[in-house]
A and B are shown apart, each in its own frame.
Chain A
Amino acid sequence: MFIEYFYLMRKRGLDVAPNEWMSLLEALEKGLHGSTLTGFYHVARAILVKNETEFDRFDQIFLEYFQGVPFQGEIPDELMDWLNHPSENLFRELEELKAAGVLDETLEELLKRLEERLAEQTEEHNGGNYWVGTQGRSAFGNNGWHPGGIRVGGKSMHRSAVAVASQRVYRDFRKDNKLDTRQFQMAFRLLRNLSAQSNEEEFDVDATIHDTCENAGTLQVRYKKARRNTIKVLMLMDSGGSMDYYAGLCSQLFQAAVSSRHFKELHTYYFHNCIGSNVYTDPRMNFDSAVPFEKFLAQYDKSYRVILVGDAAMNPYELDHPQYNFQTHSYGLSGIECFRQMKRHFPHIIWLNPESMPTYDNYWTRTHLQLAELFNMFDLSVDGLESGMKQLLVRRAG
């Protein structure tokens, strides 16, 4: 019956792999959940969830799946039966898994092993000599003392799994609402592409020593190709106007990018709302920091990964109409045309937006939607940045 739970988790975005699910079944077969739903909650979380940022999502799914189960009163027979005699039900579970066809070859093997183990098993594992014991025989006990073991102290506050899950104490860990420089930095670290393809060669100390000694002391010099991060980054930030609300957030992003020293190159430029005839090297965007757009494109080739940061909110007129250039006294390209040119020039380009995607189209959100159609747009959050970095690493349609 739990197969639906497995699929629910995957559907809700919790990335549970089949072999983790198998481990969970194995744990149940060993009776590690102590035949209680609370036990099941803890076992499942420990095996299936590998990051505290996912705990909250796990809690929510757990609630969604089990909320109909009355915890203080009677537990439905089917569920009780499952929790009490997991081994009897495992065969059925395995059949279901197979029928569902989610298995690859290695998993087939895994299943076979588990089946064999089940076949060998003659008695119920509950109350056996596994480590968690309620009979006081094991080192980690729930009741009583174990000589040289662990003292059970403190207050006993038995809480049901649903009570635990419904508190959602891990809400704060969710990646989509917690932001600090460190987490941004971590996200930036995803953007790396180590390569030993460079022409640089460096002296290989270990191999030289090894080969020299093996060669009875006659020097054998060895070189190896150096491994370097090959990624070069261009960051263009919208500055001023409606972006002032996000100044703190953008400065965090900027700090994180600058302190992630592992990029081969990192260049930062600024623009206001739209890229016009100039981009600027200084956020105040004075004339002396202006770089003509054509020069900018000529300076950086397509190997650069480009991150645009902005709320994409402006008067639609600004985006669609040609811009008047005060230096040449003529009309240049329109904003959208500049952005299109950027996209053609740089195959790896993303847009980070501190404002989340609008759900409706009106005068104020039009440019946001328009630019989201042109670029891969991500929320300026840790989650968004991570997906963005992954997007920048590979070239995908979209």
Chain B
Amino acid sequence: MKQLSFNRDTQYVASADLMNTVNIAIALQKPLLVKGEPGTGKTMLAQAVADALGKKLIIWNIKSTTKAQDGLYVYDVVQRLYDSQFGNAGVDDIASYIKFGKLGEAFQSDEQVVLLIDEIDKADLEFPNDLLWELDQMEFYIPETKETIRAKQRPIVIITSNAEKELPDAFLRRCIFHYIEFPDPEQMEDIINVHFDRLEDKLVSQAITAFYQVRQMRGIEKKPSTSELIDWLRALTVSGVNPKKITGTIPLAGVLLKKDKDLAVLNRNLRR
């Protein structure tokens, strides 16, 4: 597998597979759905794609309460009522009370943008289906102003999911799919190298070995991810731990593992 990495400005290392999939999605003008373990850089991918293509990134963070409508537009009737009570000018103009959401914003941009719909699985089960038409046709209708908003430039849509919910079939069929695998030790070394200027080789190799050991321990519920490894490396450098002792004792394990139960599992494994 060839490995591509972004230039110095971005701190992102992507596999050739992933880059190919991004290209397929762009060429076919279909949304790219990215799935993977937490900490594999799903969200950062969109930033990296935007940087590489020199395009603006618009992020729509999905929460459990987010409705599809929020992404399109909100009609601020309350403001309009206030304004009318004080006799402000422009109350007749409903259009000025229409506030566009992230999707609306992406459609209205004069230049092509990268739109990230982050963690789509957090919302209601119906959410993805409610966006089918908008993402397919890249347009929506505002009944209040009798206006149709059509994308000036079809945005590049990247959607991430943590697989908390199954996404509807009809939605999936319209997407290009990529599953980000957890990086292998070699890739991990590359990732560490973009994050740190200078690290002792011995320290890095020992830390990576220990990290994968911990991940493979049976009974660990929340496996440490890349971001935890990077924090851990930082902590190890600051505290000046002897690299030779890392694999045997896993110092500062609290940085890697967040759950008490996992720490107990680790201690049991180390004592053996």
Q: Are A153 and B3 in contact (CB under 8 A)?
A: yes
Instruction: Evaluate contact between B30 and A23: CB separation under 8 angstroms.
Output: yes
Given contacts A50-B175, A151-B5, contact A32 B27 (CB under 8 A): yes
Q: Mark A179-211, 1 if CB is under 8 A from B, else 0.
A: 000000010011000000000000000000110
Q: What is the minimal beta-carbon distance from B16 to any residue of chain A, in angstroms?
A: 8
Q: Is B7 an interface residue (CB 8 A)?
A: yes
Q: Which of B75-83, B110-118, B201-209 is near enough to bind chain A?
A: B75-83
Between-chain CB contacts (< 8 Å), 15 pairs: A32-B23, A43-B24, A46-B178, A50-B33, A50-B173, A51-B177, A52-B35, A132-B24, A138-B23, A139-B52, A150-B4, A152-B2, A152-B4, A153-B5, A157-B1
B2 A209 Cβ-Cβ under 8 A: no
At the interface, yes or no: A112 with Cβ under 8 Å from chain B? no
Q: Any chain B CB within 8 A of the CB of A148?
A: yes
Instruction: Say if the beta carbon of A55 comes within 8 Å of chain B.
Output: yes
B179 touches A153 (CB 8 A): no
* Residue total for A at the interface (Cβ-Cβ under 8 A): 48
Interface size on B, residues (CB 8 A): 45
**Stretch binding the partner chain, chosen from A213-221, A237-245, A264-272:** A213-221
- The smallest beta-carbon distance between B117 and chain A, in angstroms, is 16
B4 x A213 contact (CB < 8 A): no
Question: Pick the contact of B6 from A20, A150, A210 — CB < 8 Å?
Answer: A150
A195 vs chain B, min Cβ distance (A): 13
- Which residues of A lie under 8 Å from residue B52 when comparing CB positions? 139-140, 148-150
Q: Is the CB of A151 within 8 A of B6?
A: yes
Q: Answer yes or no: A156 CB below 8 A from chain B CBs.
A: yes
Q: Which of A129-165 contact B (CB under 8 A)?
A: 130-132, 138-140, 142, 148-159
B27, A140: Cβ atoms under 8 Å? no
CB distance from B121 to the nearest CB of A (A): 10
Closest to B8 in A: A151
Please measure, in the bound complex, the distance between the C-alpha atom of A126 and the C-alpha atom of B190, giving whole angstroms: 32
B233 within 8 A of A: no
Residues of B within 8 A of A152 (CB): 2, 4
4 closest Cβ pairs, A-B complex: A154-B3, A213-B77, A52-B179, A131-B23
Quick one: CB contact mask for B63-79 with A, threshold 8 Å, 1 for yes?
00000000000010110
**Does the CB pair B190–A153 fall under 8 Å?**
yes
C-beta contact mask, A356-374 vs B, less than 8 Å → 1, else 0?
0000000000000000000
Q: How far is the CA of A140 from the CA of B164 in the complex (A)?
A: 31
Contact A50-B24, Cβ < 8 Å, known A150-B7, A154-B5, A156-B2: no
A51 to B30, CA, bound (A): 17
> Is residue B185 within 8 Å, beta carbon to beta carbon, of the partner chain?
no
| In the assembled complex, A27 has its CB within 8 A of some CB on chain B | yes
Q: Which residues of A contact B54 (CB under 8 A)?
A: 148
Q: Is A80 an interface residue (CB 8 A)?
A: no
A210 to B74, CA, bound (A): 11
Known: A50-B175, A148-B54, A150-B19. Is A32-B24 also a contact (CB below 8 A)?
Answer: yes
- B84 CB contacts on chain A under 8 angstroms: 216
Does A154 contact B19, Cβ atoms closer than 8 Å? no
Within 8 A of B (CB), among A96-147: 130-132, 138-140, 142
Task: State A159–B5 Cα separation when bound (angstroms).
Answer: 19
Kindly state the separation between the CA atoms of A157 and B3 in the bound complex, as whole angstroms. 9
The answer to whether B166 touches A190, judged by C-beta atoms less than 8 angstroms apart, is yes
Whether A216 and B2, one on each chain, are in contact in the complex, defined by CB atoms closer than 8 angstroms, is: no
* Complex interface residues of chain A between 5 and 45 (CB less than 8 A to chain B): 17, 19-20, 23, 26-27, 30, 32, 39, 42-43
Distance of A50 Cα from B34 Cα, bound (Å):
10
Q: Select which of B1, B26, B35, B173 is within 8 A of A19 by beta carbon.
A: B173
Interface of chain A residues 50 through 82 with chain B (CB within 8 A): 50-52, 55
Instruction: Indicate if B172 sits at the interface (CB-CB under 8 A).
Output: yes
Select A130's contact among B27, B85, B165, beta carbons within 8 Å: B27
Beyond A27-B27, A130-B27, A216-B81, whether A50 also contacts B5 by CB under 8 A is no
Is there an interface contact between B173 and A140, defined as CB atoms closer than 8 Å? no
Give Cα A313 to B4, complex, Å.
Answer: 55
**CB pair A186 B166 closer than 8 Å:** yes
